């Protein structure tokens, strides 16, 4: 079997080396013109075509007086060769572009990408002076551990080693719900009213994430027992359920700013908890960015680091 496989590889290799001459002859419809293109004499081109036809066991050209034309087998081979050559050209163009362009791989969480960066993607692109941006999402912290990432935008100090961190600003957490949910289940006037609501929760996947239990204990309360509720392992999905009127979620207001401004979510209570953790930008310590990050840092701080209407933070 191994010898047969080796013979097959040798056969196909011998055939492949003849294909450029065949393609030139088929395209130019002349052995003479094909020879001028590939640097062979007319007779050498003719010999190579005969070798190819012999190995394939059928004619590829119909010969007439000083004229050649493709047979059905030749036409089939030309179409297959042209398609393969087109794929090779596409791959070469991609490789050349990859070498010449500057691609910035920006990693963040699904929620940060969806709610903070993508709604203002034109502004994000301006921060990097026209460089190509490839956005990678990874949960829970937004750090893609492949080693190919150039810049990270994350909440909480990353667990991954080898990153240089630059802290930005903290956030605040307060209950959020859709206006429709509030109209149907409200009013919510004090924290104890939450005990009569379905509290949507996210499974803690990192110490930086605060759940209902920790948040309610700030106000000397415990989550209601035996309550039917929904849980998620992804903050984006949690907020989608909240938008659909399925319950109350703990809202990170910097993340949800666009939804709050649009009135799709509301904050029914004045009580809140300021996060101990902050948002960060980070990059591999062994490979500092070779592009400016100051504009992106300034944009994040200007757009998301300022005062939050109706709430007062300390320490930022």
Beta bridge partners of 170: 278
More confidently predicted of 243 and 17? 243
Both 151 and 180 in one domain: the answer is no
Residue 144 pLDDT:
61
Both 187 and 266 in one domain: the answer is yes
- Mean pLDDT, range 216-234, rounded to an integer: 82
Taking the C-alpha atoms of residue 101 and residue 124, their distance in angstroms, rounded to an integer, is: 18
Both 151 and 298 in one domain: the answer is yes
Whether residue 3 is predicted with pLDDT greater than 80 in this model: the reply is no
Both 162 and 293 in one domain: the answer is yes
The average confidence (pLDDT) of the chain is 85
- Domain assignment of residue 270, yes or no: yes
Q: Which domain holds residue 228?
A: 171-276
- Domain assignment of residue 192, yes or no: yes
- Domain assignment of residue 315, yes or no: no
Write down which residue in 79, 100, 121 finishes a domain: 100
Residue 66 pLDDT:
77
Residue 316 pLDDT:
47
Whether residue 17 is predicted with pLDDT greater than 50 in this model: the reply is yes
- Domain assignment of residue 52, yes or no: yes
- Domain assignment of residue 316, yes or no: no
More confidently predicted of 71 and 38? 71
More confidently predicted of 224 and 49? 49
Residue 211 pLDDT:
86
Residue 249 pLDDT:
95
Whether residue 32 is predicted with pLDDT greater than 60 in this model: the reply is yes
Write down which residue in 51, 66, 100 finishes a domain: 100
Q: Quick one: tokens of 163?
A: 């990153």
Residue 222 pLDDT:
85
Residue 147 pLDDT:
64
Both 201 and 240 in one domain: the answer is yes
Both 61 and 122 in one domain: the answer is no
Both 220 and 259 in one domain: the answer is yes
- Mean pLDDT, range 21-45, rounded to an integer: 90
Both 211 and 125 in one domain: the answer is no
Whether residue 64 is predicted with pLDDT greater than 70 in this model: the reply is yes
- Domain assignment of residue 6, yes or no: yes
More confidently predicted of 224 and 59? 59
- Domain assignment of residue 312, yes or no: no
Using CB atoms within 10 A of its CB, is residue 301 exposed (0-12), middle (13-18) or buried (19+)? Answer: middle
Whether residue 139 is predicted with pLDDT greater than 80 in this model: the reply is no
Both 9 and 75 in one domain: the answer is yes
Both 124 and 158 in one domain: the answer is yes
Banded model confidence at residue 2, pLDDT cuts 50, 70, 90: very low
- CATH number of the domain residue 194 falls in: 3.40.190.10
- CATH number of the domain residue 80 falls in: 1.10.10.10
- Mean pLDDT, range 249-273, rounded to an integer: 94
Residue 280 pLDDT:
93
Both 115 and 45 in one domain: the answer is no
- Mean pLDDT, range 47-62, rounded to an integer: 92
- Domain assignment of residue 62, yes or no: yes
Tokens 């920006």 correspond to 106
Based on the structure, what is the number of domains in the chain?
3
Per-residue pLDDT tens digits for 147-162: 678 899 999 887 777 8
Residue 315 pLDDT:
54
Both 129 and 198 in one domain: the answer is no
Per-residue pLDDT tens digits for 65-117: 778 999 999 999 999 988 888 888 777 666 655 544 568 889 998 999 999 99
Write down which residue in 100, 130, 158 finishes a domain: 100
């Amino acid at each position: 079997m191994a010898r047969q496989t080796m013979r097959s590889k040798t056969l196909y290799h011998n055939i492949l080396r003849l294909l450029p001459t065949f393609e030139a002859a088929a395209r130019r419809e002349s052995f003479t013109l094909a020879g001028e293109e590939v640097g062979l004499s007319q007779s050498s081109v003719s010999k190579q075509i005969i070798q190819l036809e012999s190995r394939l066991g059928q004619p590829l050209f119909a010969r007439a007086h000083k004229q050649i034309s493709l047979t059905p087998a030749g036409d089939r081979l030309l179409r297959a060769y042209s398609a393969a050559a087109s794929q090779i050209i596409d791959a070469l163009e991609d490789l050349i572009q990859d070498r010449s362009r500057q691609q910035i791989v920006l990693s963040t969480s699904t929620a940060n990408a969806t709610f903070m960066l993508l709604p203002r993607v034109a502004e994000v692109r301006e921060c990097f002076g026209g460089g190509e941006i490839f956005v990678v999402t990874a949960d829970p912290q937004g750090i893609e551990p492949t080693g190919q990432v150039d810049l990270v935008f994350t909440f909480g100090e990353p667990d991954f080693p080898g990153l240089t961190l630059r802290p930005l600003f903290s956030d605040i957490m307060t209950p959020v719900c859709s206006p429709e949910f509030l109209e149907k289940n409200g009013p919510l006037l004090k924290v104890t009213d939450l005990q009569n609501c379905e509290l949507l929760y996210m499974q803690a996947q990192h110490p930086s994430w605060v759940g209902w239990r920790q948040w309610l204990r700030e106000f000397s309360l415990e989550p209601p027992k035996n309550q039917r509720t929904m849980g998620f392992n992804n903050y984006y999905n949690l907020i989608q359920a909240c938008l659909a009127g399925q319950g109350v979620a703990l809202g990170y207001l910097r993340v949800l700013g666009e939804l709050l401004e649009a009135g799709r979510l509301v904050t029914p209570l004045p009580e809140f908890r300021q996060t101990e953790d902050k948002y960060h930008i980070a990059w591999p310590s062994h490979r500092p960015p070779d592009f400016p990050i100051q504009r992106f840092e300034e944009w994040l701080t200007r757009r998301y680091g300022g005062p939050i209407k109706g709430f007062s933070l300390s320490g930022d």
